[in-house]
């Protein structure tokens, strides 16, 4: 089963577990021990070079501030990976796939035992902007 998750996005509507192992920036990807790479659904954060992608919402928060906020919402920083991502240790999260997040990433709504609904938390802290095109009526609780 896990080999499938490494090669393709988790199908839309499918619930899955993610034990986070690394984070790239404020909207992902989040690497999961179980295989998927998650792009948080419904939000946009700055790229690590400080830019915002064309036609994406662009928050005021820096890329590093957003990445570090996401790390705190899912666990503890344990180091830096060889390509610049932050390695993390955190509890398993419950996620619901929203389909492909581009490439082999899964766009997903995830709830962490530490930070709650990650997309809502990142918007609430002003580390990311809600992306109406993909938010699609999601409700923060």
> Is residue 70 over pLDDT 60?
yes
Cα separations in angstroms, 59 against 36, 47, 55:
26, 11, 13
The length of the chain is 141
Q: Is residue 34 part of a domain?
A: yes
Residue 59 placed within a domain:
yes
Average pLDDT of the chain is 92
The per-residue DSSP string of 11-61 comes to PTT-EEEE-EEEE-STT--EEETTS-EEEETTEE---TTS---TTS---SS
Tally the domains of the chain.
1
Does residue 127 fall inside a structural domain?
Answer: yes
1 in a domain, yes or no? no
Q: Of 3-7, 38-42, 81-85, 91-95, which gets the smallest average pLDDT?
A: 3-7
Report whether pLDDT(126) > 80.
yes
In a domain, 131, yes or no: yes
pLDDT of residue 83: 86
- Between residues 63 and 136, which one has the greater pLDDT? 63
Q: Range of 84's domain? A: 9-135
Is residue 140 domain-resident? no
**23 closest CA partner among 45, 7, 42, 6:** 45
Residue 128 in domain: yes
Say what the pLDDT of residue 101 is.
85
At 120, which helix (H) or strand (E)? helix 118-124
Domain of residue 23, CATH code: 2.40.50.90
Q: Does 3 fall in a domain?
A: no
């Amino acid at each position: 089963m896990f080999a499938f998750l490494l090669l393709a996005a988790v199908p839309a509507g499918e619930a899955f577990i993610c034990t986070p192992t690394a984070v790239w920036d404020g909207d992902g990807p989040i690497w999961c021990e179980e295989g998927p790479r998650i792009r948080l659904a419904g939000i946009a954060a700055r790229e690590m070079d400080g830019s915002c992608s064309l036609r994406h919402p662009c928050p005021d928060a820096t890329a590093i501030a957003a990445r570090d906020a996401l790390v705190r919402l899912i666990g503890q920083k344990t180091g830096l990976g060889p390509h610049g991502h932050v390695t993390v240790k955190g509890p398993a999260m419950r996620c619901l796939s929203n389909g492909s997040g581009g490439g082999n990433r899964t766009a997903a709504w995830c709830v962490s035992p530490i930070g709650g609904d990650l997309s809502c938390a990142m918007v609430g802290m002003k580390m990311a902007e809600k992306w109406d095109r993909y938010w699609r009526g999601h409700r923060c609780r």
